[in-house]
Each structure stands twice: as C-alpha cells, then as structure tokens.
Amino acid sequence: MIKAENIVKSFDGRTVLNDITVEFGTGQTNLIIGRSGSGKTVLLKSLVGLHDVDEGAIYYDDVCFSKLDFKARKAIRRDVGMIFQGGALLDASTVAENVKLPLDLFTEQSEEEKMERVNLCLKRVNLDNAHKLYPSELSGGMVKRAAIARAIVMNPRYLFCDEPNSGLDPQTSIVIDNLIHDITKEYNITTIINTHDMNSVMEIGEKIVFIYEGNKWWEGSKDDILHAENRELDDFVFASAMAKRAKGIK
Amino acid sequence: MKKLNVIESIGRYTLLMQKVFSRPEKMRIYYTRIMQEMEALGLNSIGLTAIISVFIGSAVTLQMAITLESPFIPQFMIGYATREVMILEFSSTVVALILAGKVGSNIASEIGTMRITEQIDALEIMGVNSASYLILPKIVATVFFFPFLAIFSMLIGIAGGYGMAEITGIMNPMEYIDGLRYYFYVDEIWYALVKMAFFAYFITSISAYCGYYAKGNSLEVGKASTKAVVVSSIVIMICNLVLTQLIRT
C-alpha cells in the first residue's frame, strides 16, 4: 500500500499539488488520470521520491518514506520499479545489460543466476530474442516492454508507470496495459500508473484518481467513472463531441 | 545576480563532487566502467592528439628555425626550444584545451541527454548513486589516461620536429637531437604530467556537472555542452598559471 497524506508541492511559488490525500492498494492497478499539466506526473514523481514534497507525508506500507534520508530510502528503492514515459533505458547498454544492471549492483548472484533471471523477465514480456539489441534498435512497444522487464527484475513490491502507452498504437497500448495488469496480479504489487489514455482506464483501472489543476477531484473505479456526476471529469473522459453526445452532455 | 549564480554553481559543483566521491556500490562494476571509459575518452583521443602534435611539433621547429636564424645562436637551440615548448606547455595545456573540446563536449552531451531522457532518474529509482555511477569512472579514467596522452604528444611532437628537419633540411637533424638532450631535466616531464592530471580532473568534472544539471530539451543539452567547453578551458588556463607558479618557482 502507498499512501499520500495532505501533500503539497510548489515550483517557483506556483502550487502544482494542493493538499492531496490518497491511498493506493496492493495487488491492484491504480491509475492517476488528468489533463496534461494537471500535476499527475509531479504527483507520481513525488510518490516515488524524485521530488521532495513541501508539506505532507508519503507512506510505503507503514514506513514514512518522505521523512527518510537518502540512505534509508535506498533500502526501499530496491523494492521499487519504475517505467518511464520514454522507457529511459541506458542508451549505451543492450537490452540484457539494462535488465541485468540492478542485479549487478545489488545482488551477489552468480553470472548464471543473473542471466537466468534476465531471461525469465525478458520472456515474461515477450522479448526473448532482443538480448543483444540496443535501445536505438527497438520499436516503441519493445522499449516499453524492456523497461517493464527491468522494472520487475528485482521482484519489486511497488511499480510506478509514467504514461506507459504514450506514443504507442492502440493495439500495442492494450498489450502493455494487460502486461502491467497481469504482472501486478501475479506478483501482488502496488502499481500506480499515470495516464491520460481512456482505453487504459476502461481496460485495467481498478482504482482511478482524477487530478484537476493540482487537486484530487474525484476517485473511484472504472465502473463508477461512466456514471460520475462531475463536470470536470466528464469533460476529460468524454472529451470528443461524439462521446459527449453518447452520455447526453451538452 | 551573476555573482550569486557563480557562487551557487560552485556550491552545486561541490555537492555533486561529494556525491561522486562517496563509496561506490560495487567495485567490480566500477572497474568495468573505468575500462570502458578509458577506451571511449582516452584511446579514442589518440588519433586527434597524434595529428595535432605532429603538426605543431613540425611548425614549432620551422618557426624556431626561421626566428633563431643568427650566427650567434647555435642551431641545436632549435631542438632545445622545440622540446621545451612541447613538454612544458603544448603536450599538457594545449592538448588539454583540445581535449576539453572533444572529451568535454562528449561528456556533457552524454550525461545531459541521459538527464533529459530520464535515464538518470531511472538509476536513482533503482537506488543507484547516479552521480558516482556515471561520473566517477570518467574521472578515474581520464586522470589516469590523459597523462599518457601527454607523454604520447611529447614524443610525437618532437618526432614531428625531427621529421621537419630531416625532410626540409632547414637544419641539421643531428643538431636537433643535440638540442633535445641539452639541459634536460626529468622534472619537467613530471611537471607536465601533474598538470595534465589536474586538467583531466577539471575537464571531466566540469563537463559532467554541466550535463548532470541540464534540463529541458536537446537545445539545452547543446548549451550545456558549449558551457562545459568554455568553462573547462577557462579553468585550465587559470589552473595552468597556478600550477606553474606552485611547481616551477
């Protein structure tokens, strides 16, 4: 479980996150949605510790993560996996080297054990034949899958995904969504996904938090979202004229 | 305001270096990375160093031969002057300035690109000390390897001068060799190598600093790369003066 309590974050005097309190459960896919510039990426990066919050606290299960120093955070980070918007694979390393890096740095496993784990993770994301390829040789979907393999190689308890579908076609997006969802269930991970892709919301959104202008505006499940009486949420979810007509919004 | 920026930058640089020199995660990984960086930053600079050194060595010999053309100045002084120029200033300071352009911009753009494409964030999330993991191997590699480049430059430059004497006949090559041996102190070589080690540290750390704090887009990476070369070059010139004063006097 990951919990944010009354978190506030500002940049140069401009409040980007305003008193947000939210809890993300274990073993479910939690989605943070909102328009571009609403503060959802800042929220995700604050949760993962890439931004320090100005006020409030962030808990990883019972541990107050936001109060920990760099060394203490390091221990928790071994349990964290993150998939970045652009994949963030190391350009100078092959796919296998990228996936193996956390094992090289933080485990005492033999080379065979490490490669066995790498093979397992790459197989799990259907990238069995991409060991020796460099990130520049991969398609968008393959980059995302390699990033997922790297994120899960240490058996994380918490998985963060920043717009995992951006730049992908709808079919590949669904493949990535389902992969993240299946991994979440398989390893009982607390997964938080930052997205503005409505297909993802309807496909895997078990808990959805809608961020509007830095505030938590609404939360619920994918079943609730269609019937929610919330003007800003409706504008976001039913953005197209056709979708608005379907819901009867003027 | 500008003064404040400089002080802030020095502060951030110092804090970054503190992170860089904190205890590495796993020495074995660092050893491999140091070897890779030696190849990328050191071995790959040999060609450029050789080309520049041989031409400058030849040009210095030619200039000296023209300038010192007098019945009162013995010919071997041309070899002596070429040796002094190559050892004391060219092979360390000028080569360092050239390397600041090549290696410095390479480091700043590499780390800057890693910053804007969130590769550094990815390392931090894994619990890796990104500053140490990315920058320390580069510093160790260049501080160790650049002095060898300086020795190489000295040899090639002096050989270039000899070649010039041999090919053009502007002076007697044997006199050139006599000049090379005239009042030769090994300390001068050590002085050049110490200087080069300092320059290597500054080129690498300053360029890495510029890249590490790059933000925005590719345009900003380009700016960081330019800034790295400019600042490194200025620091090299200041450091050259200070070290010359400290070591040679």
User: ipTM value of the model?
Assistant: 0.84
Burial per residue of A182-203, b for 16 or more beta-carbon CB atoms within 10 angstroms, e otherwise: ebbeeeebbbbbbbbbbebbee
Query: Which candidate from B118, B125, B127 shows the least CB-CB separation from A106?
Result: B127
**Cβ-based neighbours of B74, under 8 Å, separated by 6 or more:** B175
* pLDDT, mean over chain B: 93
Identity of residue B233: S
With CB atoms and an 8 Å threshold, state whether A77 touches B127: yes
pLDDT for B144 equals: 97
The H-or-E segment that residue B28 falls in is helix B27-37
Closest chain A residue to the Cα of B119, Cα to Cα: A88
pTM of the model: 0.87
pLDDT for B178 equals: 94
Closest chain A residue to the Cα of B117, Cα to Cα: A88
With CB atoms and an 8 Å threshold, state whether A88 touches B29: no
Q: Is the pLDDT of residue B1 over 60?
A: no
B62-112 pLDDT, tens digit each: 999 998 888 888 989 999 999 999 999 999 999 999 999 999 999 999 999
Give burial (CB, 10 Å; 0-12/13-18/19+) of B111. Answer: buried
A1-24 pLDDT, tens digit each: 999 999 999 998 899 999 999 999
Closest chain A residue to the Cα of B25, Cα to Cα: A105
In Å, how far is A90's CA from the nearest CA of chain B? 6
Question: Are the CB atoms for A95 and A115 separated by under 8 Å?
Answer: no
With CB atoms and an 8 Å threshold, state whether A48 touches B125: yes
